[in-house]
Amino acid sequence: MPMYGKKYSIYQPVYDMDLSKLGKTLFASTGDYIDTCSERIEWLDTQAPLDQNRTVIDRAQEMYLEMIKGLVSGTSFNDAEKSVSPGSTFKTFRPFNLEVRQGGMDWTYLGDTMTGWKRLDNIRKLLKSVVEDTIPGDYIETGVWRGGASVYARAVLDVLGQTDRLSYVCDSFAGLPPGDRSLDRNDKNWDSMHWYLAVSDDVVARNFQKFGFLNSNVIFAKGFFNETMPHLKKKSNHFSVMRLDGDMYESTVDVLYNLYDKLSIGGYVIMDDWSWFPSRTACEDFFKVHGIEPEIIQIDKLSAYWKKTVEVDIQYWRYEQNQFKK
């Protein structure tokens, strides 16, 4: 499985990293935790019956996923949590504001994802949709920071019994690229935030480990996307949900041109950076040159997603020649 090049590596951390350096698993398995939640709900129903048309197991699964959501988003830490001010250097902490965090509009201090509750709920919604509709394919996230959103997606897949679907965790693990490919005028200076956005693969693997999700279903692709995506294009199977969080024009075209034809019909693309980001321009240019008009559905102020409804003959020559505009 492992693939190594001068500027990239694709591997399974459970086999290819020293697990003794990744810390302890802090949580019981998904099944054991849900069993414990079910027992508590059954007992609670003898004390104060909850009148609703939901099974105990459904309620236990929701209880478990809400717990994971609170931990990866940092909201479970209450007054211990802070908000870090974005910028090229550390400036100050701001008081934690739950409403701001729910919308994913700040940088967490103690959490493992900046996506906020609405975007995490969207991951759960779309994974549930592809499972119920039997849409084949794995889950991939391109741009993972500390890995919290991918951890949550793995929790959802476990709850849904999808142990055969893989999770691809793709990042440079060194921050954003310098934008020197000159594909869009707004691609400059994103790398200035590497002081907070650069998180090593050891740290991300440790986060999977602490939640009990570091297993053979988790694959890391390390390197800038222009290095890793062409290799994933050749080696991966189908995807059912693709979550793009690369901010920049170049990071977005790297993923779309290499992997969009791997996305199953009925699958979804989630754009974490839709509003006000050059990644949106990359998507719109991709739509224009391929003659497609997917319905864009807003998730929150920043993010959106669409459903793939037609096959697309990818004009890969555009990627090879950096000719992305019509």
Q: Which residues does 88 contact at the CB level (< 8 Å), separation at least 6?
A: 189, 192, 193, 195
- Pairing assessment for the beta strands 304-307 and 297-298 based on DSSP bridges: antiparallel
How many CA atoms lie less than 13 Å away from 179 in the CB half-sphere? Answer: 17
Among 79, 84, 73, smallest CA distance to 123 is for: 73
Asked if 191 is an active-site residue, the reply is no
Q: Residue 206 and residue 126: Cα distance in Å, rounded?
A: 26
Residue with tokens 């000719």: 323
Q: What is the DSSP letter of 2?
A: -
For the chain, how are helix, strand and coil distributed in percent, rounded to 5? 45, 15, 40
Residues facing residue 93 across a β-bridge: 84
Q: Which residues does 269 contact at the CB level (< 8 Å), separation at least 6?
A: 242, 243, 244, 260, 263, 305, 306, 308
Residue type, 84: V
Q: Residue 169 and residue 220: Cα distance in Å, rounded?
A: 5
The pair of three-digit structure tokens given for residue 3, joined into one six-digit string: 């693939």
The pair of three-digit structure tokens given for residue 195, joined into one six-digit string: 């002081």
* CA-CA-CA-CA dihedral for 268, 274, 278, 282, to nearest 10: 30
Residue 77 exposed, middle or buried by CB count within 10 Å (0-12, 13-18, 19+): middle
**Catalytic hit among 106, 112, 121, 158:** 121
Sign, CA dihedral 109-201-276-193, equals positive
Residue with tokens 């991918």: 150
Residues forming the active site: 121
